[in-house]
Structures are given as C-alpha cells and as structure tokens.
Structure 1
Amino acid sequence: MQFKTIAFLSILSILFFAGCDSKENKEETSDSKIEKVEKIEKKTEFQLKATDNSIINIKLENDKIIVKEHPGKIILINFFATWCPPCKVEIPNLIKLQEDYKNDLVIVSVLLEEMKTNDEILAFIKEFNINYIVTNSTDGFEFAKESGGVKSIPTMYLLNKEGTIFQKYVGLVPNEMMEIDIKKVLQK
C-alpha cells in the first residue's frame, strides 16, 4: 500500500514540475545550417487569429514583444497545447489571474498544435471555462520560434506595459509566484 502511495506521489510530482516537450525535430538540416551562416532576416510581425476570429497583431522590436491591440497593459503570453497535461493543470491559475487582474492584465494563449480546428479549440475552451484569449494560428509556431525559441510547453512570458519581458516561466508555475511578479510590474 505504501509503495502505491509513494509511486503515485512520485508520478504526480514529475508531472507537476515538468513541461511537455515541443516534439520538435532536433536534427540540423542543411537549410538550418545555411540560415545560421547567412543570417537570414527574421520575421518580426505576426498575426495570430484568436478563436473569436479577432486578430492579435504582435511585433518583435529589439527586446520587446508588442501586442498592438492592448497598449499599456501587462501581457502574459502562454504557449501551450491541448494534449499537454501541465498545460491543462495551469488553466485554473490563468483563469484566476485574468479575473483578479482584468483591468491591468491580458492573457494571450498561443496554441502550438497543428491540425486543430477552431471548433475543437472552442470545445476545449468551453470544457475548461477559459476566460482569456486563445489563438489558433499557423503563425503561432513562427512566433514561438522568433520570440526566443520555445523548447517546451508550457512556456510563458510576462511582459510589462512597454512590452519588455519581465519574466519567462518554463513548466508549471505556482500562481503565487506569478501574482508576485504581476504586482512588481504594476508598482513600476
């Protein structure tokens, strides 16, 4: 009986403290080698389509991530997938943050999953009672790559009101830690 309890707690803690691998092909192709040598100009503007059919325009500018639709707001960008257990576990925390800081904070979840229809994502939103923006756009993968190379999910960026990255979170993050960071950004 004790063995089962210890095994269960061990598995639960592994899930809690781990993120999901992005399942990205790790092999370096000849094209990627050429890109490194030639320093091809990176894409800096992205249009992410939200599930409500609105467009979220994002611009990478120097060390900033500008979300044009929400100037003067603190932005929490959340890279996730519907199949990722830690991503699902963090949803109630994100819902609470959006409720508690609705006047100052905007959460934008960027889906990193191919071949998901908008209807499937809307069903996911309804199932989890999500109250923040969720995007389902092919540009999401490119945005993840260009914004710092998201290696695992969940990964989140907390941006201050000017769009500077205040904090990067990888894996599950306690709600209290994010709240402390949001309050620090609000005080500045």
Structure 2
Amino acid sequence: MKKLCIIAFIALFFGCSSEKSEQNSQEINDQNQSAVTTKQNFTLTISNTEKIELEKTDSELKIINSNSPVLLNFVTSECLPCVAQNSNLAKIAKKYQNLQIVEIATGIENEHQAIALRDQNELLFEVAFGKDVLELIDSMKVAGYPYSVLFDSRGKVVQSYDGLVPPEMLEYDIQRAK
C-alpha cells in the first residue's frame, strides 16, 4: 500500500511538473514572440541641412538626436486648418525659442521646395524633406491634417494631436516637455 501511494505521488508530481514545464515553455515562447518588434529608422532633413533622426517601434516613436523639445507638424498645402495651425505655431515659436518646430509637408522632395514653402508662408520654423518624410507619414498612419507630435528634450513623445490644436493646450504640453 505504501509503495502504491509513493508511485501515485511520483506520477502525480511528475505529471504536474511536466504540465507546468509545458506551460512555462509556452509562456517563454509567447514572450519571445511579443519581444520581436519591428523597428524603423527615419532621417528627416530640414532646410538648414540639420537632420532629425527618429526611431519607430511597435510601441513608441522617439527622436534619437535631440536635446530640446521638438514639435513635428504634419500638413498639406491645401489644408485650411493647417494654415490656421501655422499662425498659432508662429506665435508659439516666438514665445518658446528652445522649442524646435519642424513642418512635415507631403510633396516636398528637396531643399529648394522646402525653402520656398517656408518663405511663401512666412514660417519661423524649418521644413523637412526627403524620401523618409513619406515613409514616416505612412508608418504613422497619418489620416488627417494637421497632425502634430510633441517630443520632450529626451526625445520621448509627450502628446500627439489630431486636427487644429488650441494654443493654450499646446503651451500646457510644452511646459511638460521641458
């Protein structure tokens, strides 16, 4: 009887142990699969030949090479709210001189077009151009314009905005971005 109890105990122990081992193995596989993330790097050239390096993973977007807050403002030239947004951003740029504002416009392929857009609209900030602009817009799935993303001085996203942003809201978030 004692042998039977010991055998039953061993069978039960190893049976549970094997089941637990399979469960642990499955959890490790699930963790490894979720740890595989897609990573994309983007280089935005702005009209003063400075570059902004961005890294996008499944879970976050960050600027790699910045020591000050950055606002990326995605626009199109036909967008009336974008024009109003530019007016607000011009006032923000004067008030927060440590904030780098970069216009990301579709269809801007070279430095001459970027400078023309900036001068035509009397913008106080730079315009990004290059092949990575369209790839960034596509990877972020920007659906409407204007669309803006505010980064803190460590390159982390503070806030993103769909549509026209009230200046007071933007100023509040800029204070948080320092």
Task: Give the TM-score of the pair, scaled to structure 1.
Answer: 0.66
Give matches, 1:1-188, under 5 Å.
42=38, 44-60=40-56, 63-68=60-65, 70-71=66-67, 73-103=68-98, 105-113=99-107, 118-146=111-139, 148-186=140-178
Q: In the aligned structure 2, how far is the partner of 1:60 from the partner of 1:101? A: 26
Contact 1:45 1:60 in 2 (8 A): yes
Higher relative contact order (CA 8 A, sep 6+): 1
Higher helix share: 2
Q: In the aligned structure 2, how far is the partner of 1:111 from the partner of 1:134? A: 7
Does the C-alpha gap of structure 1 residues 162 and 120 become closer, same or farther in structure 2, counting only changes over 3 Å?
closer
C-alpha displacement at 1:91, in angstroms?
0.9
Unmatched runs of 5 consecutive residues or more in structure 1: 1-39
Task: Give the TM-score of the pair, scaled to structure 2.
Answer: 0.69
Contact 1:111 1:137 in 2 (8 A): no
Contact 2:52 2:63 in 1 (8 A): no
C-alpha displacement at 1:124, in angstroms?
2.3
- Structure 1 residue ranges, 4+ long, deviating more than 6 angstroms after superposition: none
RMSD: 2.3
Contact 1:108 1:132 in 2 (8 A): yes
- How many residue pairs get aligned? The number is 142
- Superposed CA offset, 1:62-89 (max 9, x none): 5241141x22x11111111222221112
Larger Cα-atom Rg = 2
